[in-house]
Amino acid sequence: MSRVLSTEMQAVAAAELVRPIYLLDLEFTSGSIFLWSGHGDLTYNSNTYLGAGDLLNIASIQETSDLTANGASVTLAGIKASLLTLARDEPYQGRPMTIRLGAFDENGDLISSPVILFSGFMDVMTIADNGDTSTINVTAENKLIAFQRTAVRRYTAEDQKIEHPTDKGFEFVAKIQEKEIVWGRPSPASMNTTTNHQYSPFGR
């Protein structure tokens, strides 16, 4: 899948010295975690990204010309106890995960338009805790994986009320399934043969 780079990113890519970085968004129910591959705090899109440095490892992200649901894998080593608790206690499957590729200009400022390399949902989280340090590996599914799943929604009143409790638009779906619907003008045989007497100003 091709990506559109901003003018600033194209200029950085063409420069002799390129300073690329990764930005990682992990969205949990209680709040989001923002990390980046450098050191210190980094502000982007009104969010503060915590520097993970070499402790953040993002596996190579594969892309093809066709619509293939390729996943992504992220490993965090030496993480804080608060993040470890969050990973253990809070539901994470199906929660959004985004990986961006950014770069610094020659002045050390972040280019305004980092490119989204991956956007999907967290799937499997593996935790390795040896007492002194902890490592978390997160694998995520591409959003395109939704097209490979069997639809579980139904055209019923009960299913519709899950998202719209006051909607009654599906209450008669079951009844009209057996109803014969005739399109177009009715045939002469199906018309009512009863004569309709209408008033005529000419007495006929």
136 contact partners, CB below 8 Å, separation of at least 6? 75, 76, 79, 83, 84, 87, 125, 126, 127, 128
Q: What Cα–Cα distance (Å) separates residue 25 from each residue in 19, 44, 118, 192? A: 20, 11, 10, 68
- Residue 189 in 3-state DSSP? helix
| pLDDT tens by residue, the chain, 204 residues | 556 666 766 666 666 667 889 999 999 888 898 999 999 999 999 999 999 998 899 988 776 666 666 789 999 888 776 677 777 788 888 899 999 999 887 778 888 788 888 989 998 888 887 767 788 899 998 876 655 555 666 778 777 777 788 888 777 777 777 777 777 776 666 555 544 544 444 444
Residues 13 and 67 in one domain: yes
Residues 143 and 53 in one domain: yes
In three-state form (DSSP H/G/I as H, E/B as E, the rest C), the secondary structure along 38-58 is CCCEEEECCEEEEECHHHEEE
In a domain, 195, yes or no: no
What is d(CA 145, CA 70) in angstroms, rounded to the nearest whole number?
8
pTM exceeds 0.75? no
In a domain, 125, yes or no: yes
Q: Which domain holds residue 41?
A: 7-148
Split into its structural domains, the chain has a count of 2
In a domain, 203, yes or no: no
Residues 171 and 121 in one domain: no
